[in-house]
Amino acid sequence: MHPRRPDGFDGLGYRGGGREEPGPGARPFGSASELGHWVTSPPDIPGSRNLHWGEKTPPYGAGTPLGGAGLNEEPNLGAGGPGAEQLNRFAGFGIGLASLFTENVLAHPCIVLRRQCQVNYHARNYHLTPFTIVNIMYSINKTQGPRALWKGMGSTFIVQGITLGTEGIISEFTPLPRELSHKWNLKQIGGHLLLKGLTHVIAMPFYSASLVETVQSEIIRDNPGILDCVKEGLGRVVGMGVPHSKRLLPLMVLTFPTALHGVLHYVISSIVQKLVLFVLKRDNSHNLPTESSASVQSMLDAYFPELIASFAASLCADVMLYPLETVLHRLHIQGTRTIIDNTDLGYEVLPINTQYEGMRDCINTIKREEGMPGFYKGFGAVIVQYTLHVAVLQLTKIIYSTLLQNVS
């Protein structure tokens, strides 16, 4: 089997002209285009390069500063110098990292209190506005300490990892597509949505265990291990582990609402994200930065459309599916002998003793006993969560803009 490299290749000592004694098949590589055949470009990573709207990473030697320079010439780094080039290159990465940090870490207290309000059928205060949410967050933090608002964060990361891993494994060993191609059809869309539904169903017992960890009161809660979420999920599948009451719903009853919520959340967020990206692309198409008039603001704006679209998609999906999420969480928590914080006072605990027979019974019971606002208990936490997300994104943008202006 012959090696797929030029005969004159000599590792790091290769100079394009062959060895000291070139063989009959050796030939020099005298141009950048020929060298580009053997040098591959790394994949596009959002925020890792200073790309503008709609650009792709060009191949080595084609349309890049290195392409216009000879092998012995220095590439052009631009007017800003190497410092501005490096800072501009990592600007998008830093903004995206700040967005992920806000979504998964900084917003976790809002997620904890939001879930506690959703499953608290005793509550008289529905916390539909952010003002009451902030007040109860302060009370819980004062009586139980900061850990009360950060509980279960490790298990949420584990569930996300299980979901992503399951999706990758299923798509690898089945014909179900993980991503839709440009020439998609109804069959491909159906297979893709089926993959999403199966992924949520497989991760369902671990999601239940993570939900219990996030709503369980810190007053009576033991210190759970990192992998307790996995152990509890497996125990619920095989019917072993922590004892539950007879009101615990079988996993088969939870399958449909869990898959429905996961698939609808994905569909809504995908549609909104595509629409927002289309609008932003259309509005900014006449303001594309060029090499001669590239400003700091335009360079930063090149990274934000995708983040704004992702933010809007997640917000719309959470708001539209909030009533279904309330029903889903109450079904998952039933029969787990969970004791939650009193979201009316902030310094007492309450048991969860619901007796729903299924999704339809849960919907009818909430509508009859708590009214339509009962489906939106804790909605103020969503407002606080996404307001915080916007503030962090805007603050990060201002910081990077200031740094780039100082360097340039």
Looking at residue 107, its amino acid is A
Looking only at Cα atoms, what is the longest distance across the chain?
90
- 374 part of a folded domain: yes
How many angstroms separate the Cα of 294 from the Cα of each of 88, 93, 309?
A: 12, 19, 23
Residue 403 CA from chain centroid, whole number = 27
For residue 60, report the phi and psi dihedrals to the nearest 5 degrees.
-60, 125
Specify the 3-state DSSP secondary structure of 41: coil
The Cα 245–Cα 263 span in angstroms is: 30
DSSP per position, 294-354: --HHHHHHTTHHHHHHHHHHHHHHHHHTHHHHHHHHHHHHTTS--EEE-TTTSS-EEE---
| pLDDT for position 348 | 87
Residue 300 in any domain: the answer is yes
User: Residue 46: inside a domain, yes or no?
Assistant: no
Query: To which H or E segment does residue 55 belong?
Result: none
Nearest to 214 by CA among 161, 255, 159, 265: 159
Structure tokens at 293: 């008039």
Question: How many other C-beta atoms lie within 10 A of the C-beta of residue 118?
Answer: 28
Q: What is the pLDDT of residue 306?
A: 81
H runs (alpha helix) in 102-250: 108-119, 130-144, 153-173, 186-202, 204-215, 228-238
| Predicted local distance difference test score (pLDDT) of residue 297 | 55
Query: 27 in a domain, yes or no?
Result: no
In a domain, 363, yes or no: yes
Q: Is residue 325 within 8 Å of residue 105, measured between CB atoms? A: no
The enclosing domain of 109 has a CATH number of: 1.50.40
Question: What is the model's pLDDT at position 49?
Answer: 38
pLDDT on residue 253: 94
In a domain, 15, yes or no: no
pLDDT attached to residue 398: 82
Residue 316: its H or E element: helix 304-320
The DSSP letter of residue 49 is S
Structure confidence at residue 227 (pLDDT): 84
Could you say which DSSP state residue 13 is in? G
Distance of CA 255 to the CA centre of its chain: 23
Which residue range is the domain that position 376 belongs to?
82-406
Cα 155 to Cα 227: distance, rounded to the nearest angstrom: 8
Instruction: Domain count for the chain, please give it.
Output: 1
Question: Which tokens belong to 175?
Answer: 């014909």
Question: Does residue 160 lie in a domain region?
Answer: yes
pTM: 0.75
The contacts of residue 34 (CB under 8 Å, 6+ apart) are none
Query: For each of the chain's 408 residues, which pLDDT tens digit applies?
Result: 544 444 444 444 444 444 444 445 444 444 444 444 444 444 443 443 344 444 444 444 444 443 344 444 433 434 445 555 565 566 666 666 777 788 888 899 999 999 999 999 999 999 999 999 999 999 998 888 888 899 999 999 999 999 999 999 999 999 999 888 777 788 889 999 999 999 999 999 999 999 999 999 988 877 777 788 898 899 888 876 666 678 899 999 999 999 999 999 999 999 999 999 899 888 766 555 544 445 555 555 666 788 888 899 999 999 999 999 999 999 999 999 899 999 998 888 999 999 999 999 999 999 999 999 999 999 999 999 999 988 988 887 787 777 767 765
pLDDT for res 287: 57
| pLDDT given at position 270 | 93
Neighbours of 406 (CB within 10 A): 11
Taking the C-alpha atoms of residue 127 and residue 267, their distance in angstroms, rounded to an integer, is 28
Classify 341 as helix, strand or coil.
strand
Q: What per-residue confidence (pLDDT) applies to 125?
A: 93
Beta carbons of 155 and 229 less than 8 angstroms apart:
yes
- State the pLDDT at residue 163: 94
